[in-house]
Structure 1
Amino acid sequence: MNMDQTHKEVLRKHRLDLSNQLLIGDTIIHFLYQENILTENHVEEIQAQITNKKKTLRLLDILPTRGPRAFDTFLQSLEEEFIWIKDKLLQDLDTNAHEISLTTDWTLPEEVLRNVPSDRQLSRLASRLGPQWESVLLDLGLSAGALYRCRADHPLSVQGQVLSGLVQWRQSQGRSATVARLLQSLRAADIHPSALEEVFQ
């Protein structure tokens, strides 16, 4: 069994922070080895890295493949010297678990939820959104000024206004502009999942 998806997501999100702030040293590695999270080969592989940053990054590559206990054991290994990092990860885990739970009644596969929506998907979505489109875009983080410009640029086409706003959101958020994030805002606007699942199939 692999690591829980929410745990993987937290590690991925904090990857750079962890590589800059965490000194994994012998304590963390040997604790993980003692608890059967790392094998002897893993320990050698991590210790062979030249810099601390590379050691941490290598550990973060290995952890998600080490089963459902790996994340909690990693948190335990931080207790003595890096309690503040542990607290930060736990805090983010609460937020992340909440976000994931918001999308669980959408029967879309995990890999689809993690994707950034394509032009075609956004266009299909724009054609299906009714009067709620403004509240969806505001929830996604667009400003009232940006919405005004969408309306002004496409005065005769609601679909054009919506698509313009969705494309702006995707450009501004980059890889964070996932289908899961979009579904959160659709749900917040009380749009029923069944009407939109075909958009993302």
Structure 2
Amino acid sequence: MAQKDLFNRPPTDKELLNLSKCVESWWKLAKELGVSDARIAQIRADHNLSVMEQCYQALKTWRNDQHGKDEGTVGYLVLACKEASVDQAKVEEIFSSFQD
């Protein structure tokens, strides 16, 4: 898959799950992605035993809310990860497995 195609498609559940394993401050990433404070609070309450699950649910919420929009792509997610200080080497590793 060409890099342009990679960045213009929505992330898969597997990619979101892998990303959720390496995000330390998931709420910062969720805010960068435009997830509302109310939804972040609800995710925290619903999944209070697992920070990784909180992150995964926040990422899925973002992707589902942005379905079909420019903001719902891998490219947008990668930029938001950079803004939220997520380890870029890990982000690149997650998405590089889908490149030619």
Q: How does the TM-score come out when normalised to structure 2?
A: 0.86
Percent identity, please.
Answer: 29
Matching residue of 2:54: 161
Amino acid at match of 1:167: K
Count of aligned residue pairs for this structure pair: 93
How far has the Cα of 1:190 moved from its partner? 2.1
Q: Which has the higher contact order (CA 8 A, sep 6+)?
A: 2
Paired residue for 1:182, among 77, 93, 99?
77
| Poorly superposed stretches of 4+, deviation over 3 Å | none
Q: 1:184: Cα distance to partner?
A: 1.3
1:199 maps to which residue?
94
Q: Which runs of 5+ in 1 are unaligned?
A: 1-107
Letter of the 1:187 counterpart: K
**1:16 alignment counterpart:** none
Structure 2 residue 51 is matched with structure 1 residue 171: no
Distance apart, 1:192 and its partner CA:
3.3
Alpha-carbon RMSD: 1.3
Post-superposition shift, 1:175?
Answer: 2.0
1:134 aligns with 2:27: yes
Structure 2, gaps ≥5 residues long: none
Per the alignment, residue 146 of structure 1 pairs with 39
CA distance in 1, matches of 2:33, 2:60: 11
Secondary structure of the residue aligned to 1:174 is coil
Could you tell me which residue of structure 2 aligns to residue 115 of structure 1? 9
